[in-house]
Structure 1
Amino acid sequence: MNQQADIRRLLPSVDQILAWPLIHQLQQNHGQPLVKQAVIEELDQLRQNHCPCEPDQLAAAVENHLLRLLSPSLRKVYNLTGTVLHTNLGRAPLPEEAVQAMCDVARGASNLEFDLEKGKRGDRDSHVEAWLCRLTGAEAATVVNNNAAAVLLMLNTLARGKEVIVSRGELVEIGGAFRVPDIMQRAQCKLREVGTTNRTHLKDYNEAANARTGLMMTVHTSNYVIQGFTASVPEAQLAQAAHAHGVPYAVDLGSGSLVDLRRWGLPYEPTPMDSLANGADLVSFSGDKLLGGPQAGIIVGKRALIDKLKKNALKRALRCDKVTLAALEAVLRIYANPEQLASRLPSLRWLSRSQAEIAEQAERLLPAMQIWADTLFCVTSEPVMGQIGSGALPVEQLPSQALVLTPNASKRSANRSLQSAQKALRELPVPVIGRINDRRLILDLRCLDEESELINQLRKS
Structure 2
Amino acid sequence: MEKDLERLKALRTIAPMNEILDHAEVAALAEGIGKAVLGETITQVIDDYRKQLLGDKSFAASMSHLSRQEITLHLVQELKDKLDAQDSTCLKKLINATGIVLHTNLGRAPLPDSAIRLIQEVNEGYSNLEFDLETGNRGSRHTHIEPLITRLTGAESAMVVNNNAAAVFISLNTLAKQRDVIISRGQQVEIGGSFRIPDIIASSGCTMIEVGTTNKTKPDDYAKAITENTAVLLKVHTSNYKISGFTEEVPLQDLVELGKIKNVLVMEDLGSGCLYDLSKIGLPHEPTVQEVIAGGADLVTFSGDKLLGGPQIGVIAGKKALIDKIKKNPFARIVRCDKSSIAALTAVLKLYMNPEKALAQIPALNMLALKEADLLLRAEELERQLQAALGERCQVEIVDVHDEAGGGSLPDVLLKGKAVSLTIDGLSANRLQELLRQEPIPIICRIVKDKVLLNVRTMSEKEFPLITQTMQNIVG
TM-score range with shorter-chain normalisation?
over 0.9
Q: CA deviation at 1:83?
A: 0.8
> What are the superposed Cα offsets for residues 147-196 of structure 1, whole Å, 9 maximum, x if unpaired?
01101111111111111100000000011111001111111111111000
Letter matched to residue 445 of structure 2: G
Match of 2:9 among 6, 11, 22: 6
Q: Distance in 1 between matches of 2:260 and 2:390?
A: 63
Q: What is the alpha-carbon distance in structure 1 between the residues aligned to residue 387 and residue 136 of structure 2?
A: 63
1:406 is displaced (CA, Å) by 5.3
Tell me which residue corresponds to 1:455: 468
Structure 1 86/28 Cα, relative in aligned 2: closer, same or farther at 3 Å? closer
Q: Deviations over 1:22-60 (max 9, x none)?
A: 545644654321111121122133221533552234335
Deviations 1:308-365 (A, max 9, x none): 1101111110000011101110111111111222211111111111111111221222
Secondary structure at the counterpart of residue 395 of structure 1 = coil
- Asked if 1 retains the 8 angstrom alpha-carbon contact of 2:390 and 2:472, the reply is no
- Work out whether 1:34 is the aligned partner of 2:51: no
* Other-structure match for 1:338: 355
Distance in 2 of aligned mates of 1:408 and 1:39 = 39
**Letter aligned with residue 146 of structure 1:** N
| Secondary structure of residue in 2 paired with 1:111 | coil
- Mean alpha-carbon deviation: is it higher for 181-190 or for 297-306? 181-190
**C-alpha distance 116-141 of structure 1, shift in aligned 2 (>3 A):** same
Matched, 1:133 2:150: yes
**Does structure 1 residue 443 correspond to structure 2 residue 446?**
no
* In structure 2, C-alpha distance between the alignment counterparts of 1:422 and 1:28, rounded to whole Å: 33
Contact residue 132 and residue 332 of structure 1 kept, 8 A: yes
Q: Is the 8 A contact 1:383 1:401 kept in 2?
A: yes
Q: Secondary structure of the residue that 2:428 maps to in structure 1?
A: helix
Residue 56 of structure 2 is matched in structure 1 by: none
Residues 99-138 of structure 1 show CA distances to partners (whole Å, capped at 9, x for unaligned) of: 0100111111111011111111111011010000000000
The answer to whether the aligner puts 1:83 opposite 2:94 as a matched pair is no
1: CA distance, partners of 2:263 / 2:246: 32
Are 1:253 and 2:264 counterparts?
no
Q: Equivalent residue for 2:124?
A: 107
Residues 52-87 of structure 1 deviation map (CA, whole Å, 9 limit, x = unaligned)? 552234335435544554578111111111111101
Amino acid at match of 2:193: G
Contact 1:198-1:230 at 8 Å conserved across structures: yes
Q: Does 1:45 align with 2:30?
A: no
Aligned pairs, number:
455
1:434 to 432, 445, 448: 445
Percent of paired sites with the same residue? 43
Contact 1:83 1:387 in 2 (8 A): yes
CA contact (8 A) 1:282 1:302 kept: yes
Counterpart CA distance in 2 for 1:45 and 1:399 is 51
CA contact (8 A) 2:304 2:314 kept: yes
* Residue identity matched to 1:195: G
Q: CA deviation at 1:455?
A: 2.7
Contact 1:225 1:395 (C-alpha < 8 Å) held by counterparts: yes
Secondary structure of residue in 2 paired with 1:138: coil
Q: Runs of at least 4 residues of structure 1 off by over 6 A? A: 371-377
Distance 1:457 1:408 in 2: 17
Matched residues in 1 for 2:322 and 2:41: separation? Answer: 55
Shift of 1:391: 1.1
Letter in 2 for 1:208: A
Counterpart-to-counterpart distance in 1, 2:367 and 2:32: 42
Partner amino acid, structure 2, of 1:187:
S
Does the 8 Å contact 1:140/1:306 carry over to 2? yes
Q: Which amino acid aligns with 1:189?
A: C
Summarize the Cα distance change of 1:214–1:37 in structure 2 as closer, same or farther, 3 Å threshold: same
Report matched runs for 1:226-237 at 5 Å: 226-237=243-254
Go from structure 1 to structure 2 and tell me whether the alpha carbon gap of 1:375 and 1:173 turns closer, same or farther (over 3 Å shift).
Answer: farther
Q: CA deviation at 1:459?
A: 3.4
Indicate the SS of the match to 1:121: coil
Q: Structure 1 residues 214-223 or 72-81, which shifts more?
A: 72-81
Amino acid at match of 2:339: K
Evaluate the alpha carbon distance shift between residue 28 and residue 370 of structure 1 in structure 2; reply closer, same or farther with a 3 A threshold.
closer
Instruction: Within 5 Å, give how 1:167-206 maps onto structure 2.
Output: 167-206=184-223
User: In the aligned structure 2, how far is the partner of 1:31 from the partner of 1:230?
Assistant: 63
- Structure 1 residue ranges without an equivalent (≥5): 410-415
Q: Aligned runs of 1:219-368 on 2, under 5 Å?
A: 219-368=236-385
Say which SS state the counterpart of residue 203 (structure 1) adopts: helix
Distance 2:27 2:330 in 1: 51
1:7-29 deviation per Cα after TM superposition (whole angstroms, max 9, x unaligned): 12332333443355654564465
TM-score, length of structure 2 as denominator length: 0.90
Classify the secondary structure of the residue corresponding to 1:299. Answer: strand
1:7 maps to a residue whose letter is: A
TM-score, normalised via structure 1 length: 0.93
Q: Determine if contact 1:169/1:196 at 8 Å carries over to the other structure.
A: yes
- Amino acid paired to 2:34: G
Q: Relative to 1, partners in 2 of residues 1:417 and 1:370: Cα closer, same or farther, differing over 3 Å?
A: farther
Residue of structure 2 in register with 1:420 after alignment: 431
SS of the equivalent of 1:298 reads strand
2:151 counterpart of 1:148: no
SS across alignment from 1:115: coil
Write the distance in 1 (CA, Å) between the matches of 2:24 and 2:404. Answer: 55
Q: Distance in 2 between matches of 1:175 and 1:320?
A: 20
Aligned-residue RMSD, C-alpha: 2.2
Distance 2:127 2:311 in 1: 19
2:210 matches 1:207: no
Could you tell me whether the CA contact under 8 Å between 1:407 and 1:440 is conserved in 2? no
